[in-house]
Structures are given as C-alpha cells and as structure tokens.
Amino acid sequence: MKNKSSWVEENIEMLNDRSMKRIFSLTDATFGVAMTILILSIDIPSGLPENMLSDILFRQTIPALFIYILSFIILGAFWNETHYHNHLISKSDVVISWLYIFFLMFICVIPFSSSFVIHYPDEKRSALFYLLNVLVANITNLLIIIYTWKNNYTKPGITDNHCKNIIFRIAAPSLFYILFIPFAFFNHHWVLFVMPLPMLVQIILNATKKRII
C-alpha cells in the first residue's frame, strides 16, 4: 500500500501534467486564430474599373500581401520555437501560467500590428509599433525559458547547456529587433524588408545543431 507522501507526489505530478497540457492547448489554439485572422486585413474594393484595379493591385494589395506573409512567417517561427521548448517543461506554477498568458496576448496583437502597417504604410509609427510588438513577444517567450530553467521545471536529462542554447537562440532575434528600432526612425520601409533576417539567424542556429530536439 502506498504511503501518503508517495500518493501526494503522484497527484502533484498528475496535476502538473494536466496544467501543462492545458497551456499547450491554449498556445496552439491562440496561434491558430492569430494566423487565420491575419488575412482579414487585406481587402480589395469592389466595382473598380480595370485601370484602377491594376493600380490598386500594385500600390496596395501586393505590399499588403508582403506584410501578411511576413507576419505569418513570424507567427510560424514563434509557434515552432514554443513547440520545441514546451516539450522541455515538466512543471508549471502561477508565474509560468501568467507568462504564457502575456506571451499569447502579445501574439494576438500581431494581426493588429500587421493591419496597422497595411493601412498606414507611410507612417513610421506603424512600423515601430509592429517592431516593438514582435520584440516584446520574443522577450516574454525568453522569460518563460529563463524562469523554467532557474526553477528547475525542466524534464530530467535537460542540462544547463541545453537551456543556454535555447536561450541564445531565442535572444538572438531580440538583439536584431532592438538594433532595428533606431533605423526605423530613418527608413521604416527598409526595416520591414529586413525583418525576416532574425528568423534566418534562428534557422542557421538550428542547422548548426544548437537546437536540442
């Protein structure tokens, strides 16, 4: 017959497992919704004559599609990163739950930031807002990993080097986003075109086997 201490430990482990599964489910659902509603920011006025349609297509629709693709890839990169490091977490607490909630809140703002840039492409404030949105989301994601590592909430077998590699891979794009901020004051269009660069850095880091899974 199991003693009381063993019974308590098993129940705590079961509750932690259920809690993490709920967090993972909420994460996937939030990303699914955010990635789906991105396209709603793009529209073409109806009833336009052919000559105006061509003008609208090249001046508005194609640039809007670029922002849509950029935002979709950014959300995909965030989801891919969380997909990997979620499997490293074995425990949760109130702090982790709230960190995930704030992270997902900033993820949900990305479709708004995308729409802001699409409707105000010549306003540097729209590009700055977009850039800060992605930066804050990335920093919040980084805090989740740091908190998990420092509180020993990782699964058995996950070493400090594993966690440091993940932190390095997530922190690297944030450094780029911070560097992009002053450039956005001078040429915000240029900043939008180089936004995929941090994700390329993550891909290179993955290719050099800094990823553990």
pLDDT digits (tens, 9 = 90+) for 67-101: 999 999 999 989 988 877 777 777 778 888 899 99
| Contact partners, residue 130, CB within 8 Å, separation at least 6 | 113, 114, 116, 117, 192
Of 26-35, 90-99, 129-138, 154-163, the poorest mean pLDDT is in 154-163
Q: What tokens does 168 get?
A: 């390095």
Note whether residue 180 is domain-resident.
Answer: yes
CA distance 198 to 177: 8
The per-residue pLDDT of the chain, averaged, comes to 81
Domain for residue 200, yes or no?
A: yes
Note whether residue 8 is domain-resident. Answer: no
Residue 154 dihedral angles phi and psi, to the nearest 5°:
-85, 160
- Indicate the burial class of 40 (C-beta count within 10 angstroms; 0-12, 13-18, 19 or more): exposed
DSSP string, 102-114: HHHHHHHHHHHHH
Does 187 reside within a domain? yes
How far apart (Å, rounded) are the C-alpha atoms in residues 35 and 111?
8
Q: Give domain status of residue 71, yes or no.
A: yes
For the entire predicted model, the pTM comes to: 0.83
The confidence band for 1, taking pLDDT boundaries of 50, 70 and 90, is very low
Least confident among 4-8, 35-39, 172-176:
4-8
Distance CA 35, CA 19 (A): 24
Tens-place pLDDT, residues 35-70: 999 998 887 777 767 777 777 777 788 888 999 999
In a domain, 5, yes or no: no
CA 64 to each of CA 56, 60, 61, 129: distance values in angstroms, whole numbers, following the listed order = 11, 6, 5, 16
What percent of the chain shows pLDDT beyond 90? 31
Structural domains of the chain, count: 1
* Res. 213: pLDDT tops 50: no
Assign 52 to helix, strand or coil.
helix
Tell whether 11 is covered by a domain: no
Domain extent for 129 = 17-40+47-207
Place of tokens 């290179």: 204
212 found inside a domain: no
